[in-house]
Amino acid sequence: MKAEIVATGTELLLGETLNTSAHYLTGKLSSLGIEVDYHTTVGDNSERLEQVLRQAIDRSDLLVTTGGLGPTADDLTKELVAKVLNLEMEFDQSSLNNIKEFFGRRKAPMPSSNEKQAYFPKGSKILPNPIGTAPGAIIEKDGKTVIILPGPPFEMQPMFEHYALPELQRIIGPDSERMNERVLKVFGIGESAIEEVLNDLMHLPKLSMALLAKRAEMHIRLVTRGTEATSQEALDSLNQTEDEIRKRLGDKIFGRDQETMIGIVGQTLKKNHLTISTAESCTGGLLGAALTQEPGSSEFYLGGVVSYSNSLKQQLLGVNEKTLQEFGAVSEEAAREMAEGIRRKSGSDLAISATGIAGPDGGSDLKPVGLVYIGFASAEKVYAKKFQFYGERESVRQLTVQAALNEIRQQMLNKERGLHIGDG
């Protein structure tokens, strides 16, 4: 089944609103094995919208529209879909009752213009909207399927999930191929290096692999297709390929699917009943902010110090003045003393520090932009590692945070292997 997503709304074309719905719907449709060939965005203009709808219905098996279901004169998606499919508009009393109840719950009178939202192309299967006034609809005609959804994502997503998705599953049937997807998340190795290591696996006959570069990590996306009857075979193929990739990349793989670096780090710290503190310079508090994203972070994160200036590095973290004079604030020695100082100050089990040159200014031949040192301190050992990152300022800062979190993860892996925490 070939699909097209048509989003309506002039605000999307003006850049005032980000079209997150297309991203959401593409993922959901792909998981059903439905290929989305086109994303189209059109403003609130009836002639252009009609043209787009005719083109979409002509070239696609499935058309999903978002937006244009409101009560105003320029909300014409349902009317134009009916025109393109040569269908009359029909009134639905149940939908009007629901709209009236919506206003009643808010103790507000329903404007007469909202009655428009209770009309649908003839033969529509109506999709309820419990949190808004715009019901959706599914129309099947001449081998084509049109799904009409509201524009606001907080209305569109529940409607699709609870009402449209089951209908789509019925339409495509059990014999249609579904997409089975798995994402392996990697840190510490670039795209070209991954491709070199996995080159032979990227051409397997029944599995596709794609490398996706994110700002601070790489994703390896594995996809197999299979019907309900062959789903186990598809799953086995995914498992076998993942096992082989893990053998080749080892600890550089930090997570899978919805797992995040900070989620893994936080869970592992809690599991081991360990606390941590942070000392930051170039990241300006981003590392501490990342650690507190994890629910229950108060169990493991004691706090941190953002010490941009040399004077605060000395006063708050105890970095030696001689260290700063001889080696500079961006140095292995300063990173070690920063980590050791915050651990001593906070009383945490572990400590992590970051100092570097995020740019775009401040670099030199000896210390270029993107040079970062990450320090780690535990009861057993204090050390620091050197990194050279590339990209604009925010990329350097985000990569530094990810590298610091990865260092904590590596130390937790060392603990699980029976090594001392702090073995670098």
Determine contact, residues 303/275, Cβ cutoff 8 Å. no
Write the CA distances from 201 to 185, 195, 204, integer angstroms. Answer: 17, 9, 6
Helix axes 310-317, 332-346, angle to 10 degrees: 40
**Count H helices, E strands: the chain?**
15, 17
pLDDT 10s digits, 60-84: 999 999 999 999 999 999 999 999 9
Residue 410 reports pLDDT greater than 80: yes
Task: Return the closest-CA partner of residue 334 out of 353, 348, 350.
Answer: 353
Residue 175 reports pLDDT greater than 80: no
Residue 59 reports pLDDT greater than 80: yes
pLDDT 10s digits, 305-322: 999 999 999 999 999 999
Say what the pLDDT of residue 262 is: 95
- What is the β-pairing status of strands 208-213 and 218-226? antiparallel
Say what the pLDDT of residue 424 is: 55
Average pLDDT, the chain: 94
pLDDT 10s digits, 323-379: 999 999 999 999 999 999 999 999 999 999 999 999 999 999 999 999 999 999 999
pLDDT 10s digits, 257-308: 999 999 999 999 999 999 999 999 999 999 999 999 989 999 999 999 999 9
Q: Place 176 in a pLDDT band, splitting at 50, 70 and 90.
A: confident
Name the CA radius of gyration of the chain, rounded.
Answer: 28
- Range with lowest mean pLDDT among 37-51, 85-99, 265-279, 406-420: 406-420
pTM for this one? Answer: 0.78
Which residues lie below 8 Å from residue 63, measured CB to CB, with a gap of 6+? 3, 4, 6, 53, 56, 57, 144, 145, 146, 147
